[in-house]
Structure 1
Amino acid sequence: MLGGRRTVQQLQEESDYDVVFAEENMTLEQVMLADYPLEVDFGDWASVSRQVAGVHAQQPIHAVVTGVERLVPLAGRLREELELDHGITERAARNCIDKAATHRLLEGAGVPVPRTRVVSGAQEGGEAAEGLGLPVVVKPRDASSAAGLAYCDTRAEVEQAIAGILAGGRDSALVEEYVQGPEFGVFAARTAGATRVLWVVEGEVGPPPTFVKVGGHFPARLGEENRRELDRLADLALTAVGLDDWVAALQFTLTADGWRAGEINPRVPGGQAVEMIRSTTGWEPSLVAAEAALGRQGNPGPPTPPAACTGASSSRRRGASTTTPLPSARSADSSPRIRPSSSSTSHRASRCCRSATRAAEPSAVSCWPARVPSSWSGTSHGSRNSWQSGWRTSRSTKVPWTGRIPAAADNSHRSQTT
C-alpha cells in the first residue's frame, strides 16, 4: 500500500491480507497500523523500487495499491517491476492523469468529450479560447477534482489563468470548452477487461467561477436510456486509456446535446463520496480497489445510511436507476478474501459515521456537506479512535522495515500480501 492510512485500516479490519504500508515520515500510529511498515521517500522512485523489491524477495507481494493519485504511476511501475499478474500499468495511469491524453484517447474511441486545446503560452491560450468560443475553462493538464481550474469569461482572464499555471512550473495548460448540464460522478471497477459501474451520483455543483460541490443525489436522477448510455461510455473510456484490474472515479456532464466525458481519476473518489458509497450501496471503495488490483471482484456489505443522509422522495427522480452489486467472483481456491465485518465493540467503535442499526436502502438519498459532521471524513478520526481504543496493541510488535521480516511480525497464517 503506497500511502493512504484509511485503506490500510480497512484492509486490516476487513480482510486477511498482510499489508506492507509504504509511507513517508511515518508516525508511531502508522507503524503500528501495518503488518510491515516501510518508510520511503516518494520523491525517489528508484529507492522505493529497491526497498519494495527487498520486501518482495522475502515476503512475496501480490498487489500494489494506492489511493493517492500522484502515486498511481508508481504503483504501475512497481507492478511491472515485480512482474505481478494484475494491477494498473504505468502507461494507463499516465493516460488518466494527463487530461490532454485522456481527451485524445477518449475522442479516438468514440467517447464524446469537450473540445480542448493544449497551449504553452498565455497569448496562444487566448487565441485558442477565442477559437473555442468564450467562456472557457482553463486547467492544468495533471490536476484533478477542479484543482487549479479557472472559469474564464474574457481573453484577458484566460491569459492570466494560463500564466499562473505556467508560473507554477508546468510547461503547458489545457483550454477547454465550457459545457453546461448536470454533472454525474461514476465509481467503477474494471477486472479482466470487464467494467462494472458500482455507483452513480448526480452532483449538485454551484455556479461559476468556483464550481463548489454542494451536495449530491443517489440514485442519480437518470432515465434508463441515459443510464445505459452512461455505463457504455464508462466502459469505452476505461478501455481507451488502458485501465484494467483497477478502479476509477469518472466525471460526466449531460448536456443538451448528450453526454460529455470529463476526467478519469485512477483512484477511489475523494472526500465524503467514500462514505456515501459505503452508506448507499454497501461497497467499501478501499476494499474494492484492493480486490481489483488482485484481479478480483469483491462483495458488498449491507448499506448503512448514516444519520447525515436523509431519505428523499422518489418523486424527485427523473427515472428509475439502480446500482446492482457485482456477482461473487470467488473461486474454489482457499486464498483470503474480504471477510465479514467483525461484531466486536472495538471494531464497531473504529468506524466513523455508521448508523447504530442496519437500515434498508432508502428509495433515494440526498447528502449535503453542510449538514455532515466533521467525523464524516472517515480517515483520521477512524484511525485515531482505533488507536485510542487500543485495538492494535494486541498485535505483533511493529518496527519500520529494516530489510528483513521481524520474527515477531511473522504472520504465516496469512497467504497474501498487499
Structure 2
Amino acid sequence: MRTMVFIGTSKSGSSREAIRAAERLGFYTVLFTRRKLNLEQRAEFSDVHELISIDLDDVPSMREKIKQLQKQGKIIEAIVSFVDGLVYTAAVLSEEFCHTDLSKEAILKMEDKIQTRSALQKTPFNMNYAIYKQGSLSFFIEENELTFPLIVKAPHSAGSKDVLKVDRKSEFESCVNKLKQKYPGSPILVEEYIDGPQYLVETLVYQNKVNIVAIIEQEISKEQRFIVTGYSLLAKVEEHLYESLSRAVISIIRMLGMKNGACHLELKFHKNQWKLIEANPRISGGAMNKMIEVAYGINLAEQIIKIAIGEAPSLQKTYKKFVFTQYITLASSGELQLVTGRNRAWRYEGVDDVYIKPKRGTYLHPPLSMGHRYAYVMASSSTKEEAKTIAKAAAKEIHFHLY
C-alpha cells in the first residue's frame, strides 16, 4: 500500500491541503500528531486514514512507529512536514526510511535564523546583524556599533512570536532578557531594522532548478508584533522588479544549498538592494496554497509532494488572476460569543473564500503571533486594485462578538 507519513498539521491551510493532495494522488495517509482527538474531532480529519498520537519531539519513538507501519506492509514513499520546526525532522526520517533527497542540510540552515545569516555572510543580502550570547548588553551594543531601531529574534522563532522591534536601549534589554528566560542557553539574533516594501516569494526547487511560483506583496501591521494582515499575489510583475527579485532569490537559495524541496523567502528592497528578512523551508501556511490555486490553477502542496517522491512538478499556469487575502485581527479580548457577516462577505462578487478560525467559547485577544489572525477573506480579479478593494470591503462585514 503506497503510504505517505505527515508529521504535524494544522486544522486548515497549506499543511492540511497537503494531506488532501496526497489522498487524491492515491496515497494511504498517516498523520503523526501531538493532538489527542475525541471521536467527533477525529471525524474532521476524514482525509487522514491513520492518525497516530505521538510526541513530535521524540524522534526515536517516531522511528519505532515508522518501522511498525512498514511491518504492516505499508510501503512508505516519503515522510514530510509542512509545519514550522518539523520539516528537518521529516526530511531526516524520509532519507533514512525512504531514501529520498530533500536537502536536509539546507532545511536545517533555514530553520535556524543564525545559520541562515551565517550562510549568507559577506553577501549583500544580509543586513547588519550581531549574535548576543551573554555578558553586558551595553558593551554588546557598543562593540557591534548597533543603532536603534533593532529587531531582536530567537533563532527558532516562528510566526512572529519571538520577533520584536525595539526603539531604545531599555526596550532592548527587556526583550533580550525575556527571550533568554524563554530560551535559556540559546543565543539571540539582533538585526538592523530596515524600511522598504516587503515581498514573499514562494519557490519550488527540483534537481537544483529554482522555480519561482508566486510573488506576493505583504501588508504588515506593526503593533506589539509584526503581523502580516494582507497578501497581494501579483499575477503580473513589472519586468525590472521580477528580474532583480528572481536573481536575488535564486542566489540566496543556492547559497543555502536547497536542491529539492519548497521554500519561501521574505525580502525587503532597501537602498537599491534586496535584503533577506527570513527564509523558511516550506510553503507558507494559512491561505497561501489556496491563493496560488486561485491565481494560477496550481496546487503547490500537491507539487511539493511530487518532489518528495522524486517526481517532476507540474507548474504550468492555466490562468492568471490577481488575488488579495485580508486577514482579520482583534483589538480587544474576550470569549467568542458569535461571528456575524460571513454570508454577507460571500455575496461580494470576486470573493473566493471566507474562513473563520475560532469556535464559540474560544478566548480571543489582540495578535501576538500570526496564529492570532482569526479570519480571512480572499478575493480575485483581473487587476490588483480591484482584488484588494473587494477583499477589504468583504472583510469589514465580519464581526466577532465577545463576552
Cα 1:178/1:47, change in 2 over 3 Å: same
**1:208: how far off?**
6.3
Which residue in 1 is equivalent to 2:388? 366
Cα 1:221/1:211, change in 2 over 3 Å: farther
Residues 114 and 260 in structure 1, CA contact (< 8 A), matched pair in contact too: yes
1:94-125, Cα deviation, whole Å (9 max, x unpaired): 200111110111235x4511111110237337
**1:298: how far off?**
2.9
Residue segments in structure 2 that go unaligned for 5+ positions in a row? 1-5, 327-351, 356-378, 399-403
**1:169: how far off?**
2.3
Cα 1:246/1:308, change in 2 over 3 Å: closer
Aligned pairs for 1:11-410 within 5 A: 11=21, 14-27=24-37, 28-29=42-43, 32-57=46-71, 58-89=73-104, 91-107=105-121, 110=123, 112-121=125-134, 123-124=136-137, 127-128=140-141, 131-170=145-184, 171-207=186-222, 210-219=225-234, 223-295=238-310, 296-299=312-315, 302=318, 362-364=382-384, 365-366=387-388, 368=391, 371-372=394-395
Counterparts of 1:197 and 1:307 in 2: how far apart (Å)? 17
Counterparts of 2:20 and 2:396 in 1: how far apart (Å)? 21
**1:159: how far off?**
1.1
Q: Larger RCO: Structure 1 or Structure 2 (Cα < 8 Å, ≥ 6 residues apart)?
A: 1
Residues 127 and 191 in structure 2, CA contact (< 8 A), matched pair in contact too: yes
1:215-261, Cα deviation, whole Å (9 max, x unpaired): 23331885322311211221222222222321112100011231101
Counterparts of 1:352 and 1:13 in 2: how far apart (Å)? 22
**1:305: how far off?**
7.0
Task: Name whichever of 80-89 and 246-255 sits farther off.
Answer: 80-89
Residues 19 and 34 in structure 1, CA contact (< 8 A), matched pair in contact too: yes
Which residue identity is paired with 2:7? L
Residue segments in structure 1 that go unaligned for 5+ positions in a row? 311-350, 376-418
Higher fraction of strand: 2
1:355-387, Cα deviation, whole Å (9 max, x unpaired): xxxx99624343757844999xxxxxxxxxxxx
**1:15: how far off?**
2.1
Counterparts of 2:325 and 2:112 in 1: how far apart (Å)? 35
| Percent of matched pairs sharing the same residue | 19
Task: Name whichever of 360-369 and 196-205 sits farther off.
Answer: 360-369
TM-score by length of 1: 0.70
Which residue identity is paired with 2:295? T
Residues 304 and 361 in structure 1, CA contact (< 8 A), matched pair in contact too: no
Task: Give the match's secondary structure for 1:145.
Answer: coil
Task: Name whichever of 10-19 and 149-158 sits farther off.
Answer: 10-19
Counterparts of 2:236 and 2:126 in 1: how far apart (Å)? 22
Cα RMSD after superposing both structures: 3.3
**1:160: how far off?**
0.9
Counterparts of 1:158 and 1:127 in 2: how far apart (Å)? 11
Task: Name whichever of 361-370 and 74-83 sits farther off.
Answer: 361-370
Residues 79 and 88 in structure 1, CA contact (< 8 A), matched pair in contact too: no
1:157-179, Cα deviation, whole Å (9 max, x unpaired): 11111101001024211110111
Counterparts of 1:308 and 1:200 in 2: how far apart (Å)? 12
Task: Give the match's secondary structure for 2:267.
Answer: strand
Counterparts of 1:242 and 1:161 in 2: how far apart (Å)? 32
Which residue in 2 is equivalent to 1:411? none
Cα 1:240/1:309, change in 2 over 3 Å: closer
Counterparts of 1:182 and 1:164 in 2: how far apart (Å)? 29
Task: Give the match's secondary structure for 1:64.
Answer: strand
Which residue identity is paired with 1:192? Q
Residues 144 and 265 in structure 1, CA contact (< 8 A), matched pair in contact too: no
Residues 111 and 261 in structure 1, CA contact (< 8 A), matched pair in contact too: no
Task: Give the match's secondary structure for 1:206.
Answer: strand
The alignment covers a number of residue pairs equal to 329
**1:308: how far off?**
7.5
1:71-101, Cα deviation, whole Å (9 max, x unpaired): 1121122022115233241x32220011111
Which residue in 2 is equivalent to 1:324? none
Task: Name whichever of 363-372 and 77-86 sits farther off.
Answer: 363-372
Cα 1:285/1:374, change in 2 over 3 Å: farther
Residues 297 and 317 in structure 2, CA contact (< 8 A), matched pair in contact too: yes
